Structure 1
């Protein structure tokens, strides 16, 4: 799932502190087995593979974290702090070492990961790195103004598609092939600016919502054809904070600043339509379709849209949250992490839908950031702030040879470095680094240090 929607970023660049807000960010990893949360005093990684038990697997005292992203079940975690909002730090959290860091020309608004690419989104540019050695492959400059850092990266590294806004005024989506470094298509998705984007697990579908928040659309990838259209609500505009497909791509959940989380079912009708002919809803749908040529476009479109298959009513409204659909203990669940520091796990009936039942509530932080009641981390996992970490290259490079270092001249200031500035190229570690004990990620070589400018091709 495309998890990385922020949950209230009070500590983010330019973001004011809000009363009672505990999170700087919250994100589920790519397969929804882990939850990462960042606050003013640090960040935590939780395992979410059981309903009634929430394990804190790592804690760091890095202050004012507003982006934290974990790569699947690996030990790789990307962190951005409000103290240095232009710098991305990549850590091997189990070893407590910094793998590398990169600096950019402006504040980092979002980071997306899969096993092939690492994407960094700024307000008016996007950087695409090869995740296996962190080389900068492409810089997309002068992208439309994107102050929220909205973007989505397919978690399927074979279909490594990137989606981002193609306009600041209407809901156009640019679909970019991050493997072949070329634009695939432009999708005219909505009349108003985009608010949320997510790919399904296979990278064959893309869901989107606009700032109005009333309609959610699903498109085929890479063709960009509209497949489904769901109506979240009719009475009021809402701010959709996250979209997420189920692992099998059959369901799509959407959360907003209201108290309701919607789950939609992606049902593909047969060519003859026989599967739906017996239901009253289907009959009415066909009647509306037949009459649509006589009705205004806005009305006919509204009538043809599907309603939510299942819903969840949260205890509170008006606060941002992030949701995901996952299989936990062999059953489908809806997970909602809210800005007040709680994780709600609901049971989902894949056959009948309806109102989802609350299975368990977990408190992610105690009264004083986890040192009172709430989820506890093993003290041995607590690390020092990242600026005290030795670089990974320094810890594994052979003393006889040391890391390989080269320099090259920087390009223009708009690419992230002043003209003529000497920029260190990657300093590769002498040996491979295995980031995942469960073989979720292949052994790779890593760099330490660097600036995102002057390395790689530019658009």
Structure 2
């Protein structure tokens, strides 16, 4: 699943089923085998905890920092059937709306006006209201991991998801559905991770190979950057831009978080053999991350920037929280470590 760790935590005994950022990465939400939890990212603090003795959640989607959440049951004892989306009002501590489907829900995205539900072979868009009504339905290719991203900017209604051709991305403006989707031929292999910057002017993509991250201009649809995570295949868990889009971080199942300069690509590392130009394979001219760090034991993790662009946060499936600072020399120094599942709001 794009920019989340979901169902990858079954090997852990901590009850964590799912974790993802809110729209600006200022908070993260956790689906547990017995409820859900909300945390402030930087500084780390538990903001909300709802425990249920009768079940858990495989998906928790925040709407910025407001009181509404989208919940999908999950784990060995789902709180709700996995084919339902529950809109939860955390002020009232109760559900205020329910959407039911004929198949399991793979992912949910929220904006102030819309509820976007990703199913195996379609995306359904509903009004965010007391009685949500389906406004649009988009047929898609099989999407079992719910790969989809909704622009976090309220003034931008772009939605991106895997296109009809393998490796392609469809870009749709939900505010103008009469306009045909834009097709972006991003990769040769299937697309598995997508991320917008906060403004919605940039779209980052990764495929199931996980070796290259490409960045596109969402207005002109041109490729702006090609960045190399590594040479060996990897599963990308998360891509995140910082607030001004000058940096981008990427986490993968190799247990490494890479940091790229996205506005000044010359800061990224390059092989000394790149000067040979066309005489050598394209690999040698690749731009590599200028900074990186490893999480212990290669834990699945999602990454984001902290309260400033020189700090990186990693949230891991084993309940670990790491904060690293980036030096001017491109070194990553650990500042903070905590076990966030053991925290309380006291």
User: Structure 1 length normalisation: TM-score?
Assistant: 0.68
Contact 1:112/1:119 (8 A) holds in 2: yes
Please identify, of 356-365 and 257-266, the stretch whose mean Cα deviation from structure 2 is larger.
Answer: 356-365
In the alignment, which residue of structure 2 is the partner of 1:322? Answer: 302
Query: Alpha-carbon deviations, 1:431-450, whole Å to 9, x = none?
Result: xxxxxxxxxxxxxxxxxxxx
Deviation at 1:63, TM superposition (A): 1.8
In the alignment, which residue of structure 2 is the partner of 1:95? Answer: 92
Number of aligned residues:
337
Q: Which of 199, 207, 210 pairs up with 1:210?
A: 207
Structure number with greater CO (CA < 8 Å, separation at least 6) is 1
CA distance in 2 between partners of 1:56 and 1:353 (Å): 35
Alpha carbons of 1:19 and 1:376: their partners in 2 closer, same or farther (altered >3 Å)? closer
In the alignment, which residue of structure 2 is the partner of 1:137? Answer: 135
Residue 326 of structure 2 corresponds to residue 364 of structure 1: no
**Structure with bigger gyration radius:** 1
Contact 1:22/1:339 (8 A) holds in 2: no
Deviation at 1:20, TM superposition (A): 4.0
In the alignment, which residue of structure 2 is the partner of 1:336? Answer: 314
Structure 2: state its 5+ residue gaps. none
Alpha carbons of 1:136 and 1:346: their partners in 2 closer, same or farther (altered >3 Å)? same
In the alignment, which residue of structure 2 is the partner of 1:415? Answer: none
CA distance in 1 between partners of 2:240 and 2:269 (Å): 29
Deviation at 1:245, TM superposition (A): 0.7
Contact 1:59/1:377 (8 A) holds in 2: no
Q: Which of 71, 81, 103 pairs up with 1:79?
A: 71
Residue 46 of structure 2 corresponds to residue 55 of structure 1: yes
Residue 345 of structure 2 corresponds to residue 354 of structure 1: no
CA distance in 1 between partners of 2:49 and 2:310 (Å): 26
SS in structure 2 at match of 1:223:
coil
CA distance in 1 between partners of 2:249 and 2:209 (Å): 17
> 5 Å matches for 1:107-186?
107-132=104-129, 134-141=132-139, 143-167=140-164, 170-181=166-177, 182-186=179-183
Residue 31 of structure 2 corresponds to residue 41 of structure 1: no
CA distance in 2 between partners of 1:22 and 1:107 (Å): 21
Alpha carbons of 1:22 and 1:346: their partners in 2 closer, same or farther (altered >3 Å)? farther
Query: Alpha-carbon deviations, 1:211-246, whole Å to 9, x = none?
Result: 111111001103221100111111x21111111111
In the alignment, which residue of structure 1 is the partner of 2:263? Answer: 267
SS in structure 2 at match of 1:354:
coil
CA distance in 1 between partners of 2:143 and 2:269 (Å): 43
User: Structure 2 length normalisation: TM-score?
Assistant: 0.89
Residue 24 of structure 2 corresponds to residue 31 of structure 1: yes
CA distance in 1 between partners of 2:156 and 2:12 (Å): 41
Contact 1:48/1:55 (8 A) holds in 2: no
CA distance in 1 between partners of 2:149 and 2:22 (Å): 13
Q: Which has the higher strand share?
A: 2
Structure 1: state its 5+ residue gaps. 12-16, 270-275, 366-373, 379-459
